[in-house]
């Protein structure tokens, strides 16, 4: 509630700077008027910016909750992101300017990308990958990510990128769920000066991934960095990327794909222990990302666009790879941490590569703020002309700092709300047309129908409610991989008898100017440093530890990460609790899921607060974790449990 009040008192407004607006792609309400006048015609117009092999016969088929877009149309995503630029003026333009954490650099022009993607498409074919097959990608953030993704798209294979910070078990589960045929990985990657042992993790995962018959390994690590045993190549299964590429033919014809053919699966956390395989398609997805990249980021031919996300997340898919490349833009890609070797690494990258558009996350902005103005001040950031934010609500204080210290007061900020499921940005300003307010993602983009509803599907005017999307959109997820029932129940069953209403899981507030202020998740999903983590996943990991009887995980506010993970744990009979066990459990979860799921707090308790029917009262646990007065405890089976926990939590704090 405090947060809502703080947001409501925010009254600063920032109109687009006149010079920016004058040159912007969208500087009037015209795109909204056109979309409102004829929704399908608007999206058809956006789709026409792509290159189609066969034109579509029907723009939209909507049988709630299933949508199909651009039916009958055929295209190839790689041909759109690479080939057509090679035929035009962007042939020798930098497509990807890459920098590794140790400082090594590579620039790939569109022509270079064309050469590499075609060769790697032939490599995939030689490994038996055909249209519709699944290919896993588990790489550090290196240009091979984009090459591998585009090569999959070129042959019609469905990629499933797994973030390099995920554990072997997480990788294994994703490979098995998608029944991947091939995994593309690297010997290792660099993060904060350390080596991330990707191949070693992949070996562990592949030992229990029977469908994966081939593993392609990029040599990322310098010779001599690790000894020969670090990545043992398994005869017959494992192949060095560079060896396969040496022998690969140069020419390759892109596979014509139906607009509705899947382009990729990306796993994301939900409210159960099992991640969901979000399925995105070819025509609608590319239409959504290509159009939003151009409009929201006002992308121009000479821009240098840096989206700091990893390709392991949807932001990296949509705005590091597909969106910029579909527009023939220059994208910056950086492998490592923002504070390596010094806390000015981002600003040094911006200066060196002449970044004009920077797209990053509030959690990073808050860290930069804390590290102090001296780091950005050391660098010339005058080429920056637009800033973006994504992943979690941005607090007005961080917004203002971003605006003044990074943007020099002259760059508009686009706070962009969207999700893995939505594929592309849905709520955001158009920087040449929208007056922004610090902390508000403003309004739905043209072509998107977003509103606020109460639990009875009644529209909320001014005030708080549940975010809902009332019309299908091209880049929406089509289903969950091999689990359509969960697709229906998770996203289209919030309001009884209304399978046409999409529920994103977020709460929001609408102000008197019809601006939206996203408040965050209303389900058992947490957002830690802009990364989605399901509380159930962490609980399932904890109870696998032999010392643990029961666990409940909740989120609490965290100054830098947005939310922190707080786990309440009861141990088995006879098991003693200790600081050592606490540390062991934190590491246990990190090993099971990945470092991003490592709980910040672990609190041992003899019992957890439950209702008389045995349901854990998470609301009370959240009160305890946030140090608030306890809410209503009258439905508890044993009220003394929660009082004891609270006392214990407060003792630990002091």
Site for ligand WT7 in 342-361 (CB under 6 A): none
User: What is the H or E stretch that residue 567 is in?
Assistant: strand 562-571
Choose, by CB under 6 A, the member of 520, 536, 595, 648 that binds ligand WT7. Answer: 520
> Does the footprint of ligand WT7 cover residue 396 (CB under 6 A)?
no
- 615: left (phi > 0), else alpha (psi -120 to 50), else beta? beta
Task: Please pick, from the candidates 231, 315, 363, 563, the single residue that binds ligand WT7 as defined by CB under 6 A.
Answer: 315
Q: Where are the beta strands (DSSP E) in 490-561?
A: 506-510, 516-521, 525-528, 531-534, 548-558
Residues from 612 through 631 that contact ligand WT7 (CB under 6 A): none
Q: Give the one residue of 143, 505, 534, 599 binding ligand WT7; rule: CB under 6 A.
A: 505
Contacts of ligand WT7 in 435-494 (CB under 6 A): 441
Contact pattern from residue 245 through residue 284 relative to ligand WT7, giving x for each residue in contact according to CB under 6 A and a dash for the rest = -----------------------x----------------
Backbone phi and psi for residue 230, each to the nearest 5 degrees, phi listed first: -60, -50
202 vs 411 by CB, closer to ligand WT7: 411
CA dist., res. 81 & res. 98, Å (int): 17
Whether the Cβ atoms of residue 214 and residue 237 lie closer than 8 Å to each other: yes
Residue 287 as a binder of ligand WT7 (CB under 6 A): the answer is no
Would you say 426 and 445 are in contact if contact means Cβ atoms under 8 Å apart? yes
Q: Could you give phi then psi for residue 604, rounded to 5 degrees?
A: -85, 145
State the minimum distance, in angstroms, from the CB of residue 504 to ligand WT7.
5
Distance CA 349, CA 155 (A): 34
> Which listed residue (126, 419, 470, 633) binds ligand WT7 by CB under 6 A?
419
> What span, in angstroms and rounded, lies between the C-alpha atoms of 122 and 382?
43
Binding status of residue 416 toward ligand WT7 by CB under 6 A: yes
Question: Which residue from 101, 177, 258, 415 is in contact with ligand WT7, where contact means CB under 6 A?
Answer: 415
Residue from 504, 555, 594, 609 binding ligand WT7 (CB under 6 A): 504
The reply to whether 363 sits near ligand WT7 by the rule CB under 6 A is no
- Distance from C-alpha of 607 to C-alpha of 609, rounded to nearest angstrom: 7
Closest CA to 543 of 488, 585, 578: 585
Best CA proximity match to 240, nearest among 220, 213, 217, 222: 217
Binder among 390, 528, 548, 567 for ligand WT7 (CB under 6 A): 390
Judge whether 610 and 186 are in contact, CB under 8 Å.
no
User: Can residue 563 be called a binding residue for ligand WT7 (CB under 6 A)?
Assistant: no
- Closer CB to ligand WT7, 420 or 434, in the complex: 420
Write out the DSSP string of 76-123.
Answer: -HHIIIIIHHHTSTTTTSEEEEEE-TTS-EEEEEHHHHHHHHHHHHHH
CB contact at 8 A, 220 and 142: yes
Three-state DSSP class for 500? coil
With contacts defined by CB under 6 A, name the span among 116-124, 135-143, 331-339, 417-425 that binds ligand WT7. 417-425
Determine the size of the site formed for ligand WT7 (CB under 6 A).
23
Binding of residue 506 to ligand WT7 (CB under 6 A): yes
Which residue, 255 or 563, is less far from ligand WT7 as judged by CB?
563
- Taking the complex as a whole, the smallest distance from the CB of residue 357 to ligand WT7 amounts, in Å, to 16
Q: Would you count residue 562 as binding ligand WT7 (CB under 6 A)?
A: no
The nearest distance, CB 559 to ligand WT7, in angstroms, is 17
CB 612 within 8 A of CB 556: no
Counting Cα atoms < 13 Å in the Cβ hemisphere of 291 gives 27
417 is a contact residue toward ligand WT7 (CB under 6 A): yes
The three-class DSSP label of residue 398 is helix
Of 26, 391, 431, 534, the residue at the interface with ligand WT7 (CB under 6 A) is 391
For position 418 contacting ligand WT7 by CB under 6 A, the verdict is yes
Closer residue to ligand WT7 (CB): 136 or 388: 388
Is 535 an interacting residue with respect to ligand WT7 (CB under 6 A)?
no
By CB under 6 A, which span of 175-183, 287-295, 337-345, 520-528 interacts with ligand WT7? 520-528
Contact residues for ligand WT7, defined by CB under 6 A: 268, 314-315, 390-393, 415-420, 441, 504-506, 518, 520-521, 527, 530, 532
């Amino acid at each position: 509630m405090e947060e809502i009040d703080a947001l409501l008192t925010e009254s600063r407004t920032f109109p687009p700077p006149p010079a920016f607006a004058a040159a912007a792609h969208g500087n009037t309400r015209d795109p909204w008027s056109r979309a409102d006048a004829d929704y399908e015609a608007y999206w058809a117009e956006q789709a026409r910016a792509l290159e189609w092999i066969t034109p579509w016969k029907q723009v939209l088929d909507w049988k709630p909750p299933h949508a199909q877009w651009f039916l009958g149309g055929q295209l190839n995503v790689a041909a759109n992101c690479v080939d057509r630029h090679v035929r035009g003026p962007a042939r020798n333009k930098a497509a990807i300017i890459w920098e590794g954490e140790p400082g090594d650099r590579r620039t790939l022009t569109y022509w270079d990308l064309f050469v590499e993607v075609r060769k790697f498409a032939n490599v995939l074919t030689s490994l038996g990958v055909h249209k519709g097959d699944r290919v896993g990608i588990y790489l550090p953030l290196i240009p091979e990510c984009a090459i591998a993704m585009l090569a999959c798209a070129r042959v019609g294979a469905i990629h499933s990128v797994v973030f390099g910070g995920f554990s072997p078990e997480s990788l294994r589960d994703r490979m098995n769920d998608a029944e991947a045929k091939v995994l593309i990985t690297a010997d290792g990657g660099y993060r904060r000066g350390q080596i991330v042992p990707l191949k070693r993790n992949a070996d562990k995962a592949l030992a229990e991934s029977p469908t994966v018959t081939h593993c392609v390994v990029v040599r990322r690590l310098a010779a001599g960095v690790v000894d020969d045993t670090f990545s043992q190549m398994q005869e017959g299964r494992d192949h060095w990327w560079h060896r396969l590429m040496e022998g690969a033919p140069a020419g390759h014809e892109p596979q014509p794909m139906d607009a509705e053919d899947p382009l990729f699966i990306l796993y994301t956390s939900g409210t159960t222990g099992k991640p969901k395989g979000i399925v995105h398609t070819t025509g609608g997805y590319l239409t959504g990302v290509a159009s939003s990249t151009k409009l929201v980021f006002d992308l121009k031919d000479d821009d240098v666009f840096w989206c700091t996300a990893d390709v392991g997340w949807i932001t990296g898919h949509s705005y590091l790879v597909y969106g910029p490349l579909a527009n023939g833009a220059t994208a910056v890609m950086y492998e490592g941490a923002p504070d390596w070797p010094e806390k000015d690494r981002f600003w040094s990258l911006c200066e060196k590569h002449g970044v004009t558009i920077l797209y990053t996350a509030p959690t990073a902005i808050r860290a930069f703020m804390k590290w102090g103005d001296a780091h950005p001040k050391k660098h010339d950031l005058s080429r920056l002309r637009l800033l973006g934010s994504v992943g979690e609500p941005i607090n007005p204080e961080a917004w203002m700092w971003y605006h003044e210290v990074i943007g020099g007061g002259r760059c508009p900020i686009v706070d962009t709300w969207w999700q893995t499921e939505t594929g592309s940005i849905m709520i955001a300003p158009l920087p040449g047309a929208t007056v922004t307010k610090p902390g508000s993602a403003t309004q739905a983009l043209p072509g998107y129908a977003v509103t606020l509803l109460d639990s009875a599907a009644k529209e909320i005017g001014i005030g708080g409610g549940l975010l809902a999307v009332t019309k299908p959109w091209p880049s929406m997820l089509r289903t969950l991989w091999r689990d359509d029932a969960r697709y229906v129940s998770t996203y289209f069953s919030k309001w009884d008898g209304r399978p046409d209403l999409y529920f994103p899981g977020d709460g929001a507030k609408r102000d008197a100017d019809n601006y939206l202020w996203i408040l965050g998740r209303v389900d058992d999903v947490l957002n830690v440093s802009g990364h989605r983590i399901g509380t159930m996943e962490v609980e399932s990991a904890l109870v696998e530890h032999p010392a643990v009887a029961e666990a409940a995980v909740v989120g609490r506010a965290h100054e830098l990460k947005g939310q922190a993970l707080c786990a309440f744990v009861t141990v088995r009979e006879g098991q003693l609790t200790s600081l050592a066990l606490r540390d062991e459990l934190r590491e246990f979860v990190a090993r099971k899921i990945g470092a991003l799921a490592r709980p910040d707090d672990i609190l041992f308790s003899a019992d957890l607060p439950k209702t008389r029917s045995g349901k854990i009262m998470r609301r009370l646990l959240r009160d305890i974790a946030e140090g608030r007065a306890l809410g209503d405890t009258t439905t508890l089976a044993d009220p003394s449990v929660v009082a004891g926990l609270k006392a214990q939590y407060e003792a630990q704090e002091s």
